[in-house]
Protein backbone atom coordinates (compact mmCIF):
# COMPACT_ATOMS: atom_id res chain seq x y z
CA UNK A 1 0.00 0.00 0.00
CA UNK A 2 2.80 2.36 0.92
CA UNK A 3 4.58 1.60 -2.36
CA UNK A 4 1.41 2.36 -4.30
CA UNK A 5 0.95 5.72 -2.59
CA UNK A 6 4.63 6.54 -3.17
CA UNK A 7 4.32 5.68 -6.89
CA UNK A 8 1.27 7.93 -7.28
CA UNK A 9 3.18 10.76 -5.55
CA UNK A 10 6.17 10.38 -7.91
CA UNK A 11 3.96 10.35 -11.02
CA UNK A 12 2.09 13.46 -9.84
CA UNK A 13 5.37 15.28 -9.10
CA UNK A 14 6.77 14.47 -12.54
CA UNK A 15 3.57 15.70 -14.20
CA UNK A 16 3.86 19.08 -12.48
CA UNK A 17 7.53 19.33 -13.48
CA UNK A 18 6.74 18.67 -17.14
CA UNK A 19 3.91 21.22 -17.15
CA UNK A 20 6.13 23.78 -15.39
CA UNK A 21 8.91 23.28 -17.92
CA UNK A 22 6.42 23.73 -20.75
CA UNK A 23 5.12 26.97 -19.27
CA UNK A 24 8.66 28.18 -18.62
CA UNK A 25 9.72 27.47 -22.20
CA UNK A 26 6.66 29.26 -23.54
CA UNK A 27 7.43 32.30 -21.37
CA UNK A 28 11.06 32.38 -22.47
CA UNK A 29 10.08 32.03 -26.13
CA UNK A 30 7.48 34.77 -25.77
CA UNK A 31 9.98 37.03 -24.01
CA UNK A 32 12.57 36.45 -26.73
CA UNK A 33 10.02 37.19 -29.45
CA UNK A 34 8.98 40.38 -27.66
CA UNK A 35 12.61 41.41 -27.27
CA UNK A 36 13.28 40.80 -30.95
CA UNK A 37 10.19 42.78 -31.88
CA UNK A 38 11.26 45.65 -29.62
CA UNK A 39 14.72 45.68 -31.17
CA UNK A 40 13.24 46.01 -34.66
CA UNK A 41 10.82 48.76 -33.66
CA UNK A 42 13.16 50.60 -31.34
CA UNK A 43 14.21 53.94 -32.82
CA UNK A 44 17.45 55.69 -31.91
CA UNK A 45 17.56 58.68 -29.63
CA UNK A 46 17.67 62.13 -31.15
CA UNK A 47 21.00 62.47 -29.38
CA UNK A 48 22.57 59.84 -31.69
CA UNK A 49 26.30 60.31 -32.10
CA UNK A 50 26.24 59.23 -35.73
CA UNK A 51 26.76 62.07 -38.16
CA UNK A 52 24.38 62.81 -41.02
CA UNK A 53 26.52 61.08 -43.65
CA UNK A 54 26.46 57.80 -41.69
CA UNK A 55 22.72 58.08 -41.13
CA UNK A 56 22.15 58.68 -44.82
CA UNK A 57 24.35 55.76 -45.91
CA UNK A 58 22.78 53.34 -43.42
CA UNK A 59 19.28 54.33 -44.43
CA UNK A 60 20.11 53.87 -48.10
CA UNK A 61 21.52 50.39 -47.46
CA UNK A 62 18.62 49.34 -45.27
CA UNK A 63 15.63 50.27 -47.40
CA UNK A 64 16.03 49.93 -51.15
CA UNK A 65 18.43 52.82 -51.63
CA UNK A 66 16.13 55.42 -50.08
CA UNK A 67 16.57 57.66 -47.06
CA UNK A 68 13.04 57.13 -45.77
CA UNK A 69 13.82 54.45 -43.17
CA UNK A 70 12.01 55.51 -39.98
CA UNK A 71 14.28 53.22 -37.98
CA UNK A 72 16.95 55.88 -38.41
CA UNK A 73 14.80 59.01 -38.19
CA UNK A 74 12.80 59.53 -35.01
CA UNK A 75 10.96 62.83 -34.51
CA UNK A 76 8.31 61.76 -32.00
CA UNK A 77 9.79 63.75 -29.12
CA UNK A 78 10.98 66.78 -31.09
CA UNK A 79 9.37 70.21 -30.84
CA UNK A 80 7.52 71.19 -34.01
CA UNK A 81 6.78 74.80 -33.08
CA UNK A 82 7.00 76.87 -36.27
CA UNK A 83 9.57 79.67 -36.19
CA UNK A 84 10.28 82.29 -38.86
CA UNK A 85 13.95 83.13 -39.22
CA UNK A 86 14.72 86.67 -38.12
CA UNK A 87 17.32 88.79 -36.35
CA UNK A 88 17.96 92.22 -34.89
CA UNK A 89 20.37 94.24 -36.98
CA UNK A 90 23.00 96.14 -35.00
CA UNK A 91 24.91 99.33 -35.89
CA UNK A 92 28.59 99.67 -36.68
CA UNK A 93 28.79 96.41 -38.66
CA UNK A 94 28.23 94.14 -35.68
CA UNK A 95 26.93 90.59 -35.98
CA UNK A 96 23.10 90.66 -35.81
CA UNK A 97 21.44 89.20 -32.74
CA UNK A 98 19.24 86.12 -32.81
CA UNK A 99 17.26 84.61 -29.95
CA UNK A 100 18.95 82.23 -27.50
CA UNK A 101 16.61 79.47 -28.69
CA UNK A 102 17.54 80.03 -32.33
CA UNK A 103 21.23 79.98 -31.42
CA UNK A 104 20.86 76.74 -29.48
CA UNK A 105 19.16 75.06 -32.46
CA UNK A 106 21.81 76.40 -34.85
CA UNK A 107 24.51 74.79 -32.72
CA UNK A 108 22.63 71.56 -32.05
CA UNK A 109 21.94 70.84 -35.72
CA UNK A 110 25.12 72.36 -37.20
CA UNK A 111 23.17 74.94 -39.19
CA UNK A 112 24.62 78.18 -40.58
CA UNK A 113 23.59 81.79 -40.16
CA UNK A 114 27.03 83.41 -40.10
CA UNK A 115 30.50 82.35 -41.13
CA UNK A 116 33.82 83.37 -39.57
CA UNK A 117 32.99 86.52 -37.60
CA UNK A 118 36.64 87.05 -36.62
CA UNK A 119 37.64 87.97 -40.17
CA UNK A 120 36.38 90.32 -42.86
CA UNK A 121 34.88 87.60 -45.00
CA UNK A 122 31.38 87.33 -46.50
CA UNK A 123 29.34 84.64 -48.22
CA UNK A 124 26.97 85.51 -51.06
CA UNK A 125 23.79 83.48 -51.57
CA UNK A 126 20.76 83.80 -53.86
CA UNK A 127 17.27 82.33 -53.62
CA UNK A 128 15.80 81.18 -56.95
CA UNK A 129 12.09 80.47 -56.57
CA UNK A 130 11.53 81.26 -60.23
CA UNK A 131 13.39 82.97 -63.05
CA UNK A 132 12.60 86.62 -63.67
CA UNK A 133 15.18 87.17 -66.38
CA UNK A 134 18.03 88.48 -64.22
CA UNK A 135 20.09 85.39 -63.37
CA UNK A 136 22.15 85.41 -66.60
CA UNK A 137 23.25 88.97 -65.79
CA UNK A 138 23.96 88.01 -62.18
CA UNK A 139 26.16 85.14 -63.35
CA UNK A 140 27.98 87.47 -65.74
CA UNK A 141 28.71 89.93 -62.92
CA UNK A 142 29.93 87.18 -60.58
CA UNK A 143 32.25 85.89 -63.28
CA UNK A 144 33.62 89.36 -64.05
CA UNK A 145 34.35 89.94 -60.36
CA UNK A 146 35.69 86.42 -59.70
CA UNK A 147 33.12 85.76 -56.98
CA UNK A 148 31.56 82.38 -56.24
CA UNK A 149 28.06 82.25 -54.76
CA UNK A 150 25.38 79.76 -53.73
CA UNK A 151 22.03 79.50 -55.52
CA UNK A 152 19.11 77.82 -53.74
CA UNK A 153 16.71 76.45 -56.36
CA UNK A 154 13.26 74.84 -56.43
CA UNK A 155 11.75 72.04 -58.54
CA UNK A 156 10.14 74.27 -61.19
CA UNK A 157 13.40 76.19 -61.50
CA UNK A 158 15.41 73.05 -62.28
CA UNK A 159 12.79 71.91 -64.80
CA UNK A 160 12.42 75.24 -66.57
CA UNK A 161 15.96 76.62 -66.25
CA UNK A 162 18.13 73.54 -66.74
CA UNK A 163 20.72 75.45 -68.77
CA UNK A 164 21.13 78.10 -66.07
CA UNK A 165 21.53 75.44 -63.38
CA UNK A 166 24.19 73.72 -65.48
CA UNK A 167 25.92 77.06 -65.96
CA UNK A 168 25.96 77.67 -62.20
CA UNK A 169 27.70 74.34 -61.67
CA UNK A 170 30.10 74.82 -64.58
CA UNK A 171 31.20 78.24 -63.30
CA UNK A 172 31.96 76.91 -59.83
CA UNK A 173 28.93 78.04 -57.85
CA UNK A 174 27.15 75.99 -55.20
CA UNK A 175 23.60 74.95 -56.01
CA UNK A 176 21.53 74.35 -52.89
CA UNK A 177 18.20 72.71 -52.09
CA UNK A 178 15.14 74.95 -51.64
CA UNK A 179 12.60 72.05 -51.92
CA UNK A 180 10.47 71.02 -54.87
CA UNK A 181 7.40 73.16 -54.17
CA UNK A 182 8.57 75.78 -51.62
CA UNK A 183 6.13 74.78 -48.81
CA UNK A 184 6.24 75.60 -45.11
CA UNK A 185 7.92 72.42 -43.87
CA UNK A 186 6.82 72.51 -40.20
CA UNK A 187 3.20 72.17 -41.36
CA UNK A 188 3.94 68.89 -43.16
CA UNK A 189 4.37 65.29 -41.90
CA UNK A 190 7.82 63.70 -41.90
CA UNK A 191 7.40 61.75 -45.12
CA UNK A 192 6.26 64.83 -47.05
CA UNK A 193 9.18 66.87 -45.70
CA UNK A 194 11.63 64.18 -46.79
CA UNK A 195 9.93 63.89 -50.16
CA UNK A 196 10.22 67.64 -50.82
CA UNK A 197 13.94 67.55 -50.09
CA UNK A 198 15.02 64.22 -51.58
CA UNK A 199 13.08 64.64 -54.83
CA UNK A 200 14.72 68.01 -55.45
CA UNK A 201 18.12 66.46 -54.77
CA UNK A 202 17.36 63.66 -57.22
CA UNK A 203 16.30 66.15 -59.90
CA UNK A 204 19.57 68.04 -59.51
CA UNK A 205 21.67 64.85 -59.59
CA UNK A 206 19.94 63.63 -62.74
CA UNK A 207 20.62 66.96 -64.43
CA UNK A 208 24.21 67.56 -63.33
CA UNK A 209 25.61 64.33 -61.90
CA UNK A 210 26.35 66.24 -58.68
CA UNK A 211 24.90 66.02 -55.18
CA UNK A 212 23.45 68.85 -53.12
CA UNK A 213 24.90 69.48 -49.66
CA UNK A 214 23.16 72.65 -48.46
CA UNK A 215 19.51 73.40 -47.71
CA UNK A 216 17.59 76.63 -47.19
CA UNK A 217 14.12 76.40 -45.59
CA UNK A 218 11.36 77.88 -47.76
CA UNK A 219 10.07 81.19 -46.35
CA UNK A 220 12.68 80.90 -43.63
CA UNK A 221 10.21 78.75 -41.65
CA UNK A 222 11.59 75.92 -39.53
CA UNK A 223 11.16 73.88 -36.36
CA UNK A 224 13.46 71.63 -34.38
CA UNK A 225 11.81 68.66 -36.08
CA UNK A 226 12.54 69.95 -39.60
CA UNK A 227 16.11 70.88 -38.69
CA UNK A 228 16.62 67.32 -37.47
CA UNK A 229 15.05 65.80 -40.59
CA UNK A 230 17.16 67.99 -42.86
CA UNK A 231 20.39 67.02 -41.12
CA UNK A 232 19.38 63.34 -41.08
CA UNK A 233 19.01 63.50 -44.86
CA UNK A 234 22.61 64.67 -45.21
CA UNK A 235 22.09 68.42 -45.61
CA UNK A 236 23.40 71.44 -43.77
CA UNK A 237 20.74 74.11 -43.23
CA UNK A 238 21.71 77.63 -44.29
CA UNK A 239 19.95 80.71 -42.93
CA UNK A 240 21.38 84.24 -43.31
CA UNK A 241 22.56 87.29 -41.35
CA UNK A 242 21.97 89.99 -43.97
CA UNK A 243 18.81 90.37 -46.05
CA UNK A 244 16.04 92.76 -47.05
CA UNK A 245 12.53 92.61 -48.53
CA UNK A 246 13.94 92.35 -52.04
CA UNK A 247 11.52 89.74 -53.42
CA UNK A 248 9.44 92.78 -54.36
CA UNK A 249 10.56 96.07 -55.96
CA UNK A 250 12.42 98.24 -53.44
CA UNK A 251 11.03 101.78 -52.99
CA UNK A 252 14.53 103.19 -53.42
CA UNK A 253 15.45 100.94 -56.35
CA UNK A 254 19.05 99.76 -56.89
CA UNK A 255 20.35 102.54 -54.62
CA UNK A 256 18.38 101.13 -51.69
CA UNK A 257 19.70 97.64 -52.41
CA UNK A 258 23.29 98.89 -52.38
CA UNK A 259 22.89 101.11 -49.31
CA UNK A 260 21.16 98.40 -47.27
CA UNK A 261 23.89 95.85 -47.93
CA UNK A 262 26.69 98.30 -47.20
CA UNK A 263 25.02 99.47 -44.00
CA UNK A 264 24.43 95.94 -42.69
CA UNK A 265 27.63 94.26 -43.87
CA UNK A 266 29.62 92.66 -41.06
CA UNK A 267 32.44 90.10 -40.66
CA UNK A 268 31.17 86.62 -41.48
CA UNK A 269 27.97 87.87 -43.13
CA UNK A 270 25.87 85.33 -45.02
CA UNK A 271 24.14 87.58 -47.54
CA UNK A 272 20.75 86.61 -48.95
CA UNK A 273 19.64 88.26 -52.19
CA UNK A 274 16.65 87.26 -54.31
CA UNK A 275 17.60 86.79 -57.94
CA UNK A 276 14.10 87.83 -59.07
CA UNK A 277 14.91 91.41 -58.06
CA UNK A 278 15.79 93.82 -60.85
CA UNK A 279 17.12 96.21 -58.21
CA UNK A 280 19.59 93.59 -56.97
CA UNK A 281 20.71 92.75 -60.49
CA UNK A 282 21.37 96.41 -61.26
CA UNK A 283 23.16 97.00 -57.94
CA UNK A 284 25.16 93.76 -57.74
CA UNK A 285 28.35 94.91 -59.45
CA UNK A 286 28.48 97.99 -57.24
CA UNK A 287 27.70 95.91 -54.14
CA UNK A 288 30.55 93.48 -54.83
CA UNK A 289 33.03 96.25 -55.54
CA UNK A 290 31.87 98.19 -52.47
CA UNK A 291 32.27 95.19 -50.19
CA UNK A 292 35.76 94.52 -51.54
CA UNK A 293 36.67 98.18 -51.10
CA UNK A 294 35.82 97.84 -47.40
CA UNK A 295 38.46 95.12 -47.12
CA UNK A 296 36.18 92.09 -47.24
CA UNK A 297 36.91 88.85 -49.05
CA UNK A 298 34.24 86.67 -50.65
CA UNK A 299 34.23 83.04 -49.49
CA UNK A 300 31.85 80.13 -50.14
CA UNK A 301 29.68 78.03 -47.84
CA UNK A 302 32.26 75.25 -48.16
CA UNK A 303 34.65 77.47 -46.17
CA UNK A 304 32.33 77.58 -43.14
CA UNK A 305 33.39 74.94 -40.63
Distance CA 240, CA 243 (A): 7
pLDDT at 44 over 80: no
Is 274 labeled as catalytic in the residue annotation? yes
Find, among 89, 116, 117, 109, the residue nearest to 262 by Cα. 89
Domain boundaries, the chain: 1-42, 75-303
* Cα-only R_g, the chain: 28
Please list the helix, strand and coil fractions of the chain in percent, rounded to the nearest 5, in that order.
50, 15, 40
Answer positive or negative: Cα dihedral of 217, 305, 225, 54: positive
pLDDT digits (tens, 9 = 90+) for 63-103: 233 334 443 467 989 999 999 999 999 999 999 999 999 99
How far apart are the C-alpha atoms of 301 and 290, rounded to whole Å?
A: 21
Q: Summarize pLDDT for 148-160 with one digit per residue, the tens.
A: 999 999 999 999 9
Q: Which range (8-12, 154-158, 268-272) has the least confidence? A: 8-12
Q: Are 177 and 218 in contact (CB under 8 A)?
A: no
The percentage of residues in the chain with a pLDDT greater than 70, rounded to a whole number, is: 76
- Among the residues of 171-220, which ranges form H helices? 190-208
Topology annotation, domain 75-303: TIM Barrel (3.20.20)
Q: Residues 127, 190, 246, 279: which is the catalytic one?
A: 127
Catalytic residue among 202, 274, 279, 285: 274
Which residues are bridge partners to 127 per DSSP? 152, 274
51 is catalytic: no
Mean pLDDT value across the chain = 83
Torsion of CA 190, 193, 195, 197, to 10 degrees: -140
pLDDT at residue 21, rounded to an integer: 37
Q: Which alpha helices (H) appear in 109-161, and where do they start and end?
A: 135-144, 155-160
- Residue 70: predicted pLDDT: 41
Amino acid sequence: MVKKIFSIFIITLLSFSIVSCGISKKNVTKAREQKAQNEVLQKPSVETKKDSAVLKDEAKDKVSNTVNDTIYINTENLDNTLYSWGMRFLPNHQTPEITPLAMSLIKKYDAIFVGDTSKKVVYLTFDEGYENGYTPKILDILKENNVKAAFFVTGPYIKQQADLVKRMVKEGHIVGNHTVNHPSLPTMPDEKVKEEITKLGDMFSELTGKEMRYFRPPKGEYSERTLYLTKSLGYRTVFWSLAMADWQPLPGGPEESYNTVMKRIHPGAVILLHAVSKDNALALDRIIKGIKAEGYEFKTLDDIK
